[in-house]
Amino acid sequence: MARINDHYLKLSAGYLFPEIGRRVREFQQANPDADVIRLGIGDVVLPLPQAIRDAMHRAIDELGTDEGFRGYGPEQGYDFLREAIAAHEFGARGVEISPDEIFVSDGSKCDSGNIQEIFAASARVAIPDPVYPVYLDTNVMAGRSGPAGEDGRYAGIVYLPCTAENGFVPEPPSEPVDLVYLCSPNNPTGTAATRGELERWVAYARESGAVLLYDAAYEAFISDPELPHSIYEIPGASEVAIEFRSFSKKAGFTGVRCGFVVVPAGLRGRDADGGEVEIQALWDRRHSTKFNGASYPVQAGAAACYGEAGRAQLAANIDYYMQNARVIRDGMRDLGLTVHGGVDAPYAWIRTPDGIGSWDFFDRLLNQAHVVGTPGAGFGSCGEGYLRLSAFGRREQVEQAVERIRTRL
């Protein structure tokens, strides 16, 4: 029999969202008439904007002609998309990122999971708690941790608590680490880091030599004009940070699949002999070895996000979801619950009432209100005592969910 990767056996349970899916399926089998409202996984519900569909149709028609047919594309993404991203996502905010520093992919779940491969197996990793589980699980799979303890925390991982007291923005670790994952606007807490907080992290990384792995998948949902959308808005960040971005939530691409990662040319790591190495070259090597590029129609659709019609249609969808967030926030607060987030991110982070555990509150919501949330404890031990509600739903369902929680709990 083939020897397996033992590190997988350390993973404590199934991946969070399939586990929730399993519980909901079980509930539905037992209660076939229950009309379940899903505000658990952050999956978009609004149809793909017209400008994106038009661009994808055109791209498909091109592929059906002799002149327009394309086979393999550049692994890093087509120039038309990389240039549009550089101009609209960064240039427009006064940040200079070259198209060569942008690597288009099939989504930031893969990018944020794969990035650890280009760092040493012995790299010490710091992870916020609570956290998007991909960062942690992929490092466990790669052998950067010991086994999980009773509290679910893995030996060897440095956890950075994100609590109401620190506004859910972690403090830099006191012990040396090589990699720090940060996510802003934050999944799951729905809060966003200020410029000052990001400046502190960049200063820390520059001083300590750590690399920041900055997940900005939800930046389009920021409403406060003072908040940075990219870590590169902080001077000096391009020498210490990699940034992940996604079309999933802002453009309705959770099923279409497209994202990108920025690996700046000035970012360096060191090899076993202490020599400086360009991290971008390593990522380019990995990306072109393991990935054959996002499909042409998908990249054409992504580029349409930056046209005039695309921008307006995306803004309308984002506004719709953020109105949902407001309905959730106001509704839960009216019930006397403490709610964080939901202003600069499409997630509301709700303190469970009367000290009820996250999974118990999840079960109560499902059984009594037929509403699915995500238990905070599923994102880490500091998430215990919280439940996340996603604003990605139809307005009438969101309103109904709030009403059911009000009347049935």
Residues near ligand MLT (CB under 6 A): 41-43, 109, 132, 187
CB of 343 to ligand MLT, least distance (A): 18
Q: Which of 10, 287, 40 minimizes the C-alpha distance to 136? A: 10
CB of 379 to ligand MLT, least distance (A): 8
By beta-carbon distance, which residue lies closest to ligand MLT? 42
Q: Quickly list DSSP for 49-99.
A: PHHHHHHHHHHHHHHTSTTT---S--TT--HHHHHHHIIIIIGGGT----G
CB of 78 to ligand MLT, least distance (A): 24
Q: Quickly list DSSP for 121-184.
A: TT--EEEEES--HHHHHHHHHTT-S--B-TTSPBTTPEEEE--TTTTT-PPPPSS--SEEEEES
- From CA 351, how far away is CA 357, in angstroms rounded? 10
Beta-strand ranges (E) seen in 249-377 are 259-262, 268-270, 276-278, 339-341, 347-351, 371-372, 374-375
- Residue closer to ligand MLT by CB (options 109, 364) is 109
- Residue closer to ligand MLT by CB (options 95, 372) is 372
- Residue closer to ligand MLT by CB (options 347, 361) is 347
CB of 336 to ligand MLT, least distance (A): 26
- Residue closer to ligand MLT by CB (options 43, 106) is 43
Place of tokens 């982070």: 349
- Residue closer to ligand MLT by CB (options 39, 234) is 39
Q: What tokens were used for 399?
A: 């309103």
**Element containing residue 386 per DSSP (H, E):** strand 386-390
CB of 248 to ligand MLT, least distance (A): 6
Contact between 141 and 10 under an 8 Å Cβ cutoff? The reply is no
- Residue closer to ligand MLT by CB (options 179, 217) is 217
Its sign, for the CA torsion 324, 326, 329, 334, is negative
CB of 187 to ligand MLT, least distance (A): 5
Rounded to the nearest 5°, which phi and psi values hold at 213? -105, 100
- Residue closer to ligand MLT by CB (options 15, 80) is 15
Residues in the chain: 409
**Element containing residue 328 per DSSP (H, E):** helix 308-334
- Residue closer to ligand MLT by CB (options 77, 130) is 130
Q: Hey, which residues does 349 pair with through a beta bridge?
A: 340, 388
CB of 213 to ligand MLT, least distance (A): 15
CB of 155 to ligand MLT, least distance (A): 25
